[in-house]
Structure 1
Amino acid sequence: MIVRNEEEHLQECLDSVCDIVDEIIIVDTGSTDQTKEIASRYTSKIYDFPWTDDFAAARNYSFEQATKEFIMWLDADDYLSSVDRNKLIKLKDLLTPEKTVVMMDYYLSFDAAGKPLILSRRHRLVRRDKGYKWKGIVHEYIDVFGASIYYSDAAVSHRREGAHTERNLRIIEKWIASDGRLEGRLLLHYGSELADLKRYEEATLHLERFLEQPGSFIDDCILACIKLADCYEKLGLKDKKLEALLRSFRYDLPQSEICCAIGGCFEERGQWATATYWYLQALQTAEKSLLLMENRSFRTWLPHGRLCICYAQQGDLENAYRHNEKALGYLPQDQVLLENRRKLQQVLGKIP
């Protein structure tokens, strides 16, 4: 772990794993609170690392201190639920030398029922003797190119409390000012951070540049298309938004999030049959293609909810009712969906 001023979360994090792992390594990058004191209750392996605005450098230093066969990384505001603790214990028993990299889900936010809503997938455990390195001054990742990936059903949960957009942008712009090269994933992250700060015109330039460079990962290209479409939406360029979404088909199968966004484009135009097609595609592709970053609403209740509207606009109230019921299966207390049910039951004579 790399930490800095994490006294609020660190104990919960370490409590959730301390009796499972064989060693705990804490690298502190300049805490001024009780972080190191809390860490000392769990481990004597606490190291100081001067912060250099480079997350990969700090992560790599933490990996260099490890002595066991496998390394697992966490952030201080991560934790494992009781269910995932048990899965991690089982995973530990199943680890063999050929499992060089283990990927796990990373839950970033939850719905009202406590189910994961937004998640990513991260390379969570690596075999130490393979010497895998972190890359990236921000949004760092482990370079496991060429490794065979083992997928675990254990997941890590994250207590997301605000984004770090301004910090990340400051680090990237400092990098640029020091003649650092703006290329690869850093170009994608720069465009994304600019978009999050509503600097949409600048963001589109960098996202377009990212998509023009060769050798990018498929998931990165699709995520860039999604971000680019959002920017064009904010700039009022609806046709370019649709072009950016369709551009994603160059890289992989249609993704549910893309299909829902395309459906929305045609819904805005009042082209209800075409919008219906794309929302149905979102449901049909839900289990066939999974991005490393996923919002499950686009695979569950959202397309059903929009299909209710689209079918109703076409006069097909039976299908409108059917999809509204499916959406309610995910969001049983949603007032809009409940009102849709009431109106459709009344028209269709389905009042209980």
Structure 2
Amino acid sequence: MNPFISLCMIVKNEEKVIERCLSSITHLVDEVIIVDTGSTDKTKAISEKYTSKIFNFEWVDDFSAARNFAASKASGKWLLVLDADEYVDEENFKGFIQELKEDKGQFDAYTAKILNFTGNFGESLVQNLHDRIYKNTGEILYYRKIHEQFKHVEGKSLNIKNSSLLLFHSGYLNKTVNEKQKSIRNKELLQKEINVGPNKAFDYFNYGNEYASTGDYAKALECYLEAYKGKSDFRLSWVSTTLIQIIVCLMQLKRYNDALSVIKDAESIYDSSAEILFLKGEIFFLRGQLEDAKQAFKKIVNNQPKYNHIILRPDLKDQKPHTRLAEIYLCEENYNDAIFHYTSVLNINKFNNECIKKVIYILSKFHSSEEIAGFLFSKELVNSKNIKNYVRACFEAGNPQLALNLLENFYEENKFLYQIALLKKACITSEENFEYMHDILEYSIVKELIQANWINLIDLFLLREFSEKDNKVLSLIKQFEKEEVFNALINLFKVKVPKDDIEENLFLFSLQTLIDYRKNALCQVLLSKVDYLDKKSVRKAAALLFSKGYKVEALQLYEKTEWSYFNEQDFVNIINSMLQTNNAVNAVEVAKYALSIYNQDFRFYQVILENTQDENLIITTLQKATELFIESSYLRQYNVERSI
């Protein structure tokens, strides 16, 4: 009796990921076929642990040729195609197999939904459907050299259904794309396909993806527009994706009004997709239209059932709008609503590091470690899989006691991390008993901990206080004093420092860390050296202080630099400080100056409109804002109120 389902893979130099793939699925299928197209690493050796059916195939610049060769070696009733950088969820796969067994001959093939982790760390999700499961009758083949699709050998139409199968794909992470130079290879194959293939619109779509992946958004936009112009049917899945990508490219090129025009047309066609509305909100956010942005993002998170169609980015339906709302509320110092939206993200994705850091940072401002730990556990946000993420966030927030409180629930599997937390607490709180930490006070261990970012040079600097009281600490510090960077840090705190010896990045890192550790006296020592920095570095220090809530000190530093070095947020910081002290007149003057440099930032128009008594200035400002920001409910409401 033939196997029910065979797994077919083509691979080359995939030693970093192939075990993850095979270990996730080989026990769930009946046969595993692996075709190697020229590996020079350990790919074959790893594969041999899971199957004996490994075949060589000379690469001929054609993915379909390799996939069809793999299919020819399989004996299963159904064929499943995976890449080495993909993997499955066991429960989802079992459900899919049951779906396949209940097929009753209705369908020739199925698509799988692929969730692609993108960015540096997989912080963004992109989804697409791809032809991956088909009957092994010899009548169905892959065609196209790249971005392969199914076809019947006699040209008959195929009955294809979208399956419930989810495939998780890490091959689009920035590091992987750069290492494998995928874009260069893909463009070469696409050019060959365009020269001979009948579906040029689809080829231009894929060309656009390649240019977008390397940041060439102007070229990408040209390709996407060509693809959209050449579409044969707007219902094809790649067509709606093309529309999303056109909007994204226009945004990247800062052609915001053009993007809004495309969105206006798309909203009526894809009204059940949150992605279109999110991109509108994102444009508002990027242009400083924060009230308009809030409206868009709130509409998404408050109407989840309405938005049941995902075109490309599933995270734009929930995680991203919640994150943006949290960021806006944090800027407004509305901490309760910020926490609500950050924790809403964590209820969806418990590994979102940025949200974890923000939650720990905000809660640490107002609550004890015991209260925070109780809150996190009551919300079921912390578990054995993400505890290290929380511990790292606690360390960065200067709250090692909270890390210890959280680790108590996971102590057995994290004993070493608990010791690190004790060391961190000792450094920050000046606890003197180091005897129970002597095991980790070895130079090689501490060096590794610094490289892994569990502790930092400021921790070591603070540890120096105990050099005369503990020989182990003394020995450790002496070894680090041989290192140039550590000595540069020590010199920062000397009474007299040669001007050329202050390095900007070290200064700013030290200042931020000491602020987080609440080491105010040492912060003052650092700030006494600020005149040794150039004016650009002083501006950065001022912005850092302001972001940490030290507004008076920040304003003092802003006075030491020049407005020509200011970015938009610097002007906003100064304006907000003036408004908080009822200095509306000067706030308007600063906003007018800021607009002469940053005329695309809505916040400056808003400051003028809300705070000036000069009717002529209101009229001219309103006219400019209305011309530039073609869609704004804030401006519409402002005009209504003026007419009453």
Coarse TM-score class (shorter-chain normalised): 0.7 to 0.9
Q: Once the 2 structures are TM-superposed, how far is the Cα of residue 71 of structure 1 from its aligned partner?
A: 0.9
Query: Which string of whole-angstrom CA distances, capped at 9 and with x for unpartnered residues, describes residues 208-237 of structure 1?
Result: 111111314443122212222222223232
1:335 to 346, 350, 357: 357
Matched, 1:158 2:177: no
Q: TM-score, normalised by structure 1?
A: 0.77
Residue identity opposite 1:237 in structure 2: R
Q: Once the 2 structures are TM-superposed, how far is the Cα of residue 190 of structure 1 from its aligned partner?
A: 0.6
Partner Cα distance (2:341, 2:162) in 1 = 36
Partner Cα distance (2:200, 2:159) in 1 = 24
- Closer/same/farther in 2, CA of residues 72 and 179 from structure 1, 3 Å limit: closer
1:72 to 77, 80, 86: 80
Partner Cα distance (1:42, 1:266) in 2 = 51
Q: Which residue number in structure 2 is paired with residue 56 of structure 1?
A: 64
Whose RCO is larger (CA < 8 A, sep 6+)? 1
Q: Which residue number in structure 2 is paired with residue 13 of structure 1?
A: 21
Q: Once the 2 structures are TM-superposed, how far is the Cα of residue 207 of structure 1 from its aligned partner?
A: 1.0
Q: Once the 2 structures are TM-superposed, how far is the Cα of residue 110 of structure 1 from its aligned partner?
A: 9.3
Q: Which residue number in structure 2 is paired with residue 295 of structure 1?
A: 314
User: What SS class does the counterpart of residue 277 from structure 2 fall into?
Assistant: helix
Q: Which residue number in structure 1 is paired with residue 231 of structure 2?
A: 214
Bigger helix share: 2
Q: Once the 2 structures are TM-superposed, how far is the Cα of residue 29 of structure 1 from its aligned partner?
A: 2.0
Is this contact kept in 2: 1:218–1:251, CA < 8 A?
Answer: no
* Residue range with higher mean Cα deviation, 311-320 or 77-86: 311-320
* Residue range with higher mean Cα deviation, 141-150 or 259-268: 141-150
Partner Cα distance (1:12, 1:342) in 2 = 38
- Closer/same/farther in 2, CA of residues 59 and 90 from structure 1, 3 Å limit: same
Q: Which residue number in structure 1 is paired with residue 270 of structure 2?
A: 252
Residue identity opposite 2:15 in structure 1: E
Query: Which string of whole-angstrom CA distances, capped at 9 and with x for unpartnered residues, describes residues 139-159 of structure 1?
Result: 32335965252532x433334
User: What SS class does the counterpart of residue 51 from structure 1 fall into?
Assistant: coil
Is this contact kept in 1: 2:34–2:70, CA < 8 A?
Answer: yes
* Residue range with higher mean Cα deviation, 119-128 or 229-238: 119-128
- Give identity over the alignment, percent: 25
* Residue range with higher mean Cα deviation, 272-281 or 261-270: 272-281
1:126 to 131, 134, 137: 134
Q: Once the 2 structures are TM-superposed, how far is the Cα of residue 33 of structure 1 from its aligned partner?
A: 3.4
- Closer/same/farther in 2, CA of residues 219 and 243 from structure 1, 3 Å limit: farther
Partner Cα distance (1:227, 1:343) in 2 = 40
Q: Which residue number in structure 1 is paired with residue 242 of structure 2?
A: 224
Q: Which residue number in structure 2 is paired with residue 147 of structure 1?
A: 159
Q: Which residue number in structure 2 is paired with residue 265 of structure 1?
A: 283
- Closer/same/farther in 2, CA of residues 4 and 318 from structure 1, 3 Å limit: closer
Partner Cα distance (1:24, 1:317) in 2 = 53
- Closer/same/farther in 2, CA of residues 211 and 167 from structure 1, 3 Å limit: same
Is this contact kept in 1: 2:274–2:310, CA < 8 A?
Answer: no
Partner Cα distance (2:341, 2:20) in 1 = 40
Is this contact kept in 2: 1:200–1:234, CA < 8 A?
Answer: yes
Q: Which consecutive residues of structure 1, in runs of 5 or more, have no partner in the other structure? A: 346-351
Bigger strand share: 1
- Closer/same/farther in 2, CA of residues 235 and 182 from structure 1, 3 Å limit: farther
1:237 to 248, 255, 262: 255
Q: Once the 2 structures are TM-superposed, how far is the Cα of residue 325 of structure 1 from its aligned partner?
A: 5.2
Partner Cα distance (2:287, 2:20) in 1 = 49
Q: Which residue number in structure 1 is paired with residue 474 of structure 2?
A: none
- Closer/same/farther in 2, CA of residues 322 and 159 from structure 1, 3 Å limit: closer
Is this contact kept in 2: 1:321–1:344, CA < 8 A?
Answer: no
Is this contact kept in 2: 1:183–1:210, CA < 8 A?
Answer: yes
Is this contact kept in 2: 1:324–1:337, CA < 8 A?
Answer: yes
* Residue range with higher mean Cα deviation, 115-124 or 43-52: 115-124
Partner Cα distance (1:64, 1:286) in 2 = 44
Is this contact kept in 2: 1:60–1:133, CA < 8 A?
Answer: yes
Matched, 1:190 2:203: no
Is this contact kept in 1: 2:96–2:163, CA < 8 A?
Answer: no
Q: Once the 2 structures are TM-superposed, how far is the Cα of residue 59 of structure 1 from its aligned partner?
A: 1.9
Q: Once the 2 structures are TM-superposed, how far is the Cα of residue 69 of structure 1 from its aligned partner?
A: 1.5
- Closer/same/farther in 2, CA of residues 150 and 261 from structure 1, 3 Å limit: closer
Partner Cα distance (1:25, 1:267) in 2 = 49
Equivalenced residues, count: 341
Is this contact kept in 1: 2:14–2:84, CA < 8 A?
Answer: yes
Q: TM-score, normalised by structure 2?
A: 0.45
- Closer/same/farther in 2, CA of residues 57 and 339 from structure 1, 3 Å limit: same
Partner Cα distance (2:47, 2:336) in 1 = 59
User: What SS class does the counterpart of residue 244 from structure 2 fall into?
Assistant: helix
Query: Which string of whole-angstrom CA distances, capped at 9 and with x for unpartnered residues, describes residues 22-52 of structure 1?
Result: 2222222222334345445544543333322
Partner Cα distance (2:89, 2:347) in 1 = 25
- Closer/same/farther in 2, CA of residues 103 and 341 from structure 1, 3 Å limit: farther
How much is the aligned-residue C-alpha RMSD, in angstroms? 3.9
- Closer/same/farther in 2, CA of residues 291 and 167 from structure 1, 3 Å limit: farther
Is this contact kept in 2: 1:253–1:289, CA < 8 A?
Answer: no
Residue identity opposite 1:212 in structure 2: K
Residue identity opposite 2:310 in structure 1: L
Matched, 1:97 2:105: yes
